[in-house]
Structure 1
C-alpha cells in the first residue's frame, strides 16, 4: 500500500510535465520543486515508475470527484436534447483544457507515451475506463440502453480533441470548428447538417490556410536531401514524441552523420519544425491508405499519435500552434469518402459528421494502442458507429414526438 505524501510532489510533477513534457520529468527536478530531496521523494513515493503510477492514481481519484460534480450539474438538464448535451460536452472540454490544464496535459502525455510503451503505464487502462464510465453514468438517465455506446463515443472524441484544445484554447476559428463537430457528436451524427455544421468547409478553411499549405519556416522541396532528413526527424517524432528529437537521434534514425543533420537544420527548433512539416505532408497524403477497422497499432494511428505530440509541443511553444491546428482541421480529409459510405450508408455523412466519426475512431484507436493493442469490446469500430446512429435516430424521433423536451 502506498504511503501518504507529505510534500506537494504530485502538483510539482504535473507542473513539470506541463512545462517540459514527460521527458523533462525527473526525480531530481520534482524533489527540488517541492523543496525536498530525492531521498524524501523515494521514501514517500518510490522511483520514477512509482511516481507516474501515483500521478495516474491521483487523477483517477480526482475523476471520481469530477463525476460527482458533473452529476449534480446535469441533474436537472435534459441530456436527451442534443443542444443541451453539446453544451455539456463543450463545457467539460473547456474545464479540462483550462481549469484542469496541468492534469490534462499530464494524462495526454501519458497516453502518447503508453502507445509506444504500454507496459510502462500499467494502470493507464483503468483511467481510460474511467473516461468511458464518466459519460455512461451522466447519460444513463436520458439515453437508456444507448448510454454506454454514446458515452464511449464522447470519451473517444474528447480524447482526440483535448490536446488541440489545450494548445489553442482561445483560437476563435478553431472554437467554431470544434463547436460544429461537438454538435454532430451530440446528435449522434444523424440527420442533415444544420447550423454551424452546414458551413463546415468554410470552418475548416478558416482554421488554417484554406487549401494551401501552412507556410513552413523553410522549403521542403520534394525529392531533396532536406526532405529526406526531415523525414527521419518525423520518424523519430512518431516513435518517441517531440521531446525525443535531437540531432544525434535523427542521425541515428537515418544512418547519416550528425553533421549532415546539422547542415540542413542547425538548431533543435529547426529540426522540430522540419519534423512537423514532414508530418503535415504525411497526414495530407498517406493516411488515405489506412483501413477504418485497423485500430490496433496501424501506421495511420501511429501517425495520428505524432499529431498529438505536435499538439502537446504546441502547448509549450506558441509558434507550433499553427502546425497543430493544420493537422487538427484535416481530420477525415483523406478518408471522408470511406467514412461517409461505411458509417452513413446510402445517404452518407456530411463533412462535419464524417470528421466527428473519424475523431471517435481515432480516440478509440489511440486507447487501444495504449492498452498494448488490446481492448476487445472497448474498441469502437465503424459498425459500432452505425449502430449508435440508429439508436440516436430512434431517440431523436422519440424526443420530437414528445415536443422536443423529455418528460421529467
Structure 2
C-alpha cells in the first residue's frame, strides 16, 4: 500500500477539519480519508506530532504559492495609498475566506488549538510566522504605524477578520462592515469631518442584529432546551451553573470542548441529568452563548479599564474576546450560529467607546467604528496566545500603542 504524499495528506486534512474541526483530525479518520491503514500512515510520517507537522508544512507550502502571487502585485504597486491598501486588504481577506476557505479554516483551527495544546505549537510556528510576515510586509507598504505592527495588533486584526469572514462571508451586511473597517483603518481610524461611514456603520450594525434580540432568543432557546421540547417546567437550580460552564468551555476550547461529561463534571452532576435538560451539543452551545451574550452586554456598559477588568473578574474568567472568536470558528461548521456570530461581530468594541472617551479625551473622532477597528486587533491578538499574564501584557501593550496612534503620536 503506497504511503500518502503531502498534497494528499493536506487534502484529507481539509475535508476533516471543515466538517469536524481539528478535534476530528486524529489518526484513524485521517487514515480512512487517505484510504490507507494507520500503520501505513505512521510508518510514513511518525506519531501524531510528526503528522501534524507534515500537515502544517504542506499547508505552508500551499499558502506560500498564494501569498507569492499577492507579493508580486504589491511589488509592482510600490507604496500603497490608503484607498488602495484598504481595497487590497479586503480582496486578500475575501479570497482567503472563499476560494481559500479550507486552508484558512485549517489555519485558524491550529491557531486556536495552540492556545491550549502546546504540543501543536512547534508544528504550527513556521506557517504562523509565514502568514504574519506577509501581513507585516503589507502593513509596511501601506505605511501603517510601526508600533501597531510590532506589538501584534495588526496581525490580530487580520486574524479576527478572517475568522468572521469564514463564518459570515455570505452576509452582505458583514462584507460592507468589513469594508468600512479596513477603509477607516488605513485612513487613520478616527472619523473625518464628514463621517458618512459612521452613519452607514450604525445602520449595518442594526441590520446584523440588535443585542436585545440576540440575547432574548439565545436565552429562550437555552431555557426551552433548544426547541427540543424535552426541558419543561421550572429550570433546576444548576441550569445557570451549566450555562456558565458552557460559556467558559466554549471560550477556552471552542465547540469541541463542550461535551456532556465535561460540563457535568464541571458543575458536579450526573451527565445523564444534564442530558435530560440539554439533550444535544447544540443545546450546550446555545446555553453557553446566552451566558457569553450577557457578559458582552455587561462589558459594553463599563466606562473604564478598571470597569472592564471588574466585569471580567465577575465573569469567573470568561473572556468575551476569546468567547466571540470561538463562536465564529464554531459557526464555520454550524451555520445556524451565524446570526449570533453576526451580532457579536457587529457590536465588537462597543465597550471601548466609553473607555476611550474617558482616557483619551484629547483624541477627536473616536466613534463606534473607530472603537471596533481597535477592538478587532485586540481580539485577534488575544486569541494567538494562551490565557495568562503574557497574553494580558501583550494586549495591554497593543492597547497602549493604539491609544498613541489615535492621539496622533505614533
Distance 2:177 2:326 in 1: 21
| Contact 2:328/2:341 (<8 A) preserved | yes
**RMSD value over aligned CA atoms?**
3.4
Aligned pair 1:56/2:56, yes or no?
Answer: yes
Name the counterpart of 1:349: 366
Partner of 2:25: 25
CA distance in 2, matches of 1:52, 1:381: 31
Cα deviation, residue 378, structure 1: 10
TM-score between both structures, scaled by the size of structure 2: 0.82
Which whole-Å deviations, capped at 9, do the CAs of 1:85-127 have from their partners, x for residues lacking one?
1111111111111111111111111122111233432343443
In structure 2, the CA distance between the partners of 1:346 and 1:187, relative to structure 1 (3 Å rule), is closer
Q: Pick from 270, 289, 304 the counterpart of residue 257 of structure 1.
A: 270
1:329 aligns to 2:346 (yes or no): yes
Deviation at 1:27, TM superposition (A): 0.8
Q: Residues of 1 paired with 2:79 and 2:403: CA distance?
A: 21
- Contact in 1 for aligned 2:116/2:253 (Cα 8 Å): yes
CA distance in 2, matches of 1:377, 1:95: 29
Q: Is the 8 A contact 1:56 1:123 kept in 2?
A: yes
Name 1:234's counterpart in structure 2: 247
Which residues of 2 match residues 302-313 of structure 1 at below 5 A? 302-313=319-330
List gaps (5 residues or longer) in structure 1.
395-408
Tell me how far apart the structure 1 counterparts of residues 43 and 387 of structure 2 sit (CA, whole Å): 29
Distance 1:123 1:292 in 2: 39
Q: Deviations over 1:112-161 (max 9, x none)?
A: 21112334323434433333321232344452x84674585432211112
| TM-score between the two structures when normalised by the length of structure 1 | 0.83
Residues 255, 330 of structure 2: 8 Å contact kept = yes
Aligned to 1:135: 135
Bigger drift between 29-38 and 122-131 goes to 122-131
| 8 Å CA contact retained: 1:153, 1:380 | no
Shift of 1:255: 0.9
Paired with 1:188 and 1:223, the residues of 2 have a C-alpha distance of: 51
Where in structure 2 are the equivalents of 1:36-55 lying within 5 Å? Answer: 36-55=36-55
2:383 equivalent in structure 1: 366
Aligned match of 1:172: 172
State the partner residue of 1:320.
337
What's the secondary structure of 1:306's corresponding residue?
helix
| Over 6 Å off, 4+ runs | 289-294, 297-301, 374-379
- Is the CA contact 2:136–2:155 (under 8 Å) kept in the aligned structure 1? no
Q: Is the 8 A contact 1:78 1:84 kept in 2?
A: no
Judged with a 3 Å threshold, the aligned counterparts in structure 2 of structure 1 residues 368 and 281 are, in CA distance, closer, same or farther, namely: same
Structure 1 segment 182-221 matched on structure 2, within 5 A: 182-192=182-192, 194-209=195-210, 211-214=212-215, 215-216=217-218, 218=221, 220=223
Partners of 1:232 and 1:58 in 2: how far apart?
A: 37
SS at the partner of 1:231?
helix
* Distance across 2 between alignment mates of 1:185 and 1:141: 14
Task: Report the more deviating stretch, 334-343 or 366-375.
Answer: 366-375
SS class of match (1:115): coil
CA–CA distance in structure 2, aligned partners of residues 292 and 134 of structure 1: 37
Q: Which residue of 2 aligns with 1:397?
A: none
| Deviation, structure 1 residue 371 | 11
**Alignment deviations for residues 168-205 of structure 1 (CA, whole Å, 9 cap, x no partner):** 21101112222221111122314527343343222211
Distance across 1 between alignment mates of 2:306 and 2:55? 35
Distance 2:378 2:307 in 1: 8
**CA shift digits 1:331-368 (9 cap, x unpaired):** 11223211455467442511101110011122222223
Query: Hey, what's the Cα distance between the residues in 2 that align with 1:319 and 1:373?
Result: 34
Tell me the residue number matched to 2:95. 95
Cross-structure match for 1:338: 355
Pair 6,165 (structure 1): closer, same or farther in 2 beyond 3 Å: closer
Aligned twin of 1:382: 399
Paired with 2:249 and 2:35, the residues of 1 have a C-alpha distance of 35
Asked if the contact 1:85–1:186 (Cα under 8 Å) also holds between the matched residues in 2, the reply is yes
- Structure 2, unpaired ranges of 5+: 224-233
Return closer, same or farther for 1:206/1:7 CA change in 2, 3 Å cut-off.
closer
1:69 maps to which residue? 69
